[in-house]
Amino acid sequence: MRIVVAEDLAILRDGLIRLFSAHGFEVVASVDRGPDLVEALVEKRPEVAVVDVRLPPTFTNEGLWAALEARRRVPGLPILIFSQYVEPLYASELLADGSGGVGYLLKDRVIDVAQFIEAVRRVAGGGTAMDPEVIAGLLARPQQAAPLSRLTPREREVLLLMAEGRSNSAIADRLTVTEKAIDKHISHIFDKLDLPPSSNDHRRVLAVLAYLNPSGRSRSERRPEG
């Protein structure tokens, strides 16, 4: 699978290149500056890109802007943003265009290599990979307490994993139950929360996130200063 890596910290960039090569990815471009990134993404058309939010020259969110710009020019281009911290505002901007193939993870997640590679493959396939911390933050709000209390603890676990963008079989693996059990849980969840059922994983994520965060708005039109 062809991948583009954008990361300014050399040691981390090399580590990622080695990691991806070892798992059968072909690194077609590795970028350490914001301005070069959009070109690399649009020209090389990788199957997935892993992009750090903060890049030179401004060290603001060059990576995020480049990702949004590239997805404007090439709709649905799969990009996984990763960062030292997660900001729900950025997550909602990434999800704003409604098409799949988007991810937002903490750099910490590279510690669990298998999960990280799985997330990258999921994004490449048009799915979603949202960091559990973003989801947990959204779930923790009190106005969610009432409807979410209708869910059993197991269903809440499934909801979390679903909001991250995992497929039913991945969730089943993770919780070591059968896929049929997961299917049942999911249809219960959608019933209890009054959400329309959806087989498309990405649409599912959008529905769940929209449910959890009805006031979320994005402003993907702003350019960085400087």
Partner 1 sequence: MRYLLMGLGVWALCLLSIMIYYPLTALVPFILLISLFTPPSGNSTTHKALSTLRSVANMERRRAGTLLGQPISEPYLTRENAEGTWLTIVLKDPATWRDLAWYLLHLCLALPLGIGAILLLVSAPYGAALPVVHLLRPQDLQGVVFDGIPLDTTWGPWAAVPAGVLNGLLGWWLLPRLALVEARIARWLLAPARKVLLAKRIERLTDTRSDAVDDRATELRRIERDLHDGAQARLVALAMNLGMAQQTIQEDPEAAAKLLAEAQGSASTALTELRSLVQGICPPVLAERGLLDALRALALQSPVPTAAHLADIPRQPAAVESALYFVAAEALANIAKHANATQAAVRLEHGSGALCLEITDNGRGGADADRGTGIAGIARRMAAFDGALSVTSPVGGPTTVQVELPCAS
Question: Which residues of the chain form contacts with partner 1 (CB under 8 A)?
Answer: 54, 59-61, 84-85, 87-90, 92, 106-108, 111-112, 137, 140-143, 213, 215-217, 219, 222, 224-225
State which residue, 89 or 210, has the beta carbon closest to partner 1: 89
Phi/psi of residue 83, each to 5°? -160, 160
Nearer to partner 1, 29 or 81 (CB): 81
Contacts of 182-191 with CB under 8 Å at 24 or more apart are 182/158, 185/154, 185/155, 185/158, 186/158, 186/162, 188/151, 188/155, 189/151, 189/155, 189/158, 189/159, 189/162
Q: Peptide bond before 57: cis, by omega within 30 degrees of 0?
A: yes
Minimum Å distance from CB 106 to partner 1?
Answer: 8
C-beta of 197 vs 224, nearer to partner 1? 224
Helix (H) or strand (E) holding 128: strand 128-130
Between 22 and 89, whose beta carbon lies closer to partner 1?
Answer: 89
Q: Pick the closer one to partner 1 by CB: 74 or 89.
A: 89
| Shortest spacing between CB 226 and partner 1, in angstroms | 10
DSSP 62-78: HHHHHHHHHHHHSTT--
Tell me how far, at minimum, the Cβ of 81 lies from partner 1, in Å: 13
Give least dist CB 194 to partner 1, A.
Answer: 19
Shortest CB 3 distance to partner 1, Å: 24
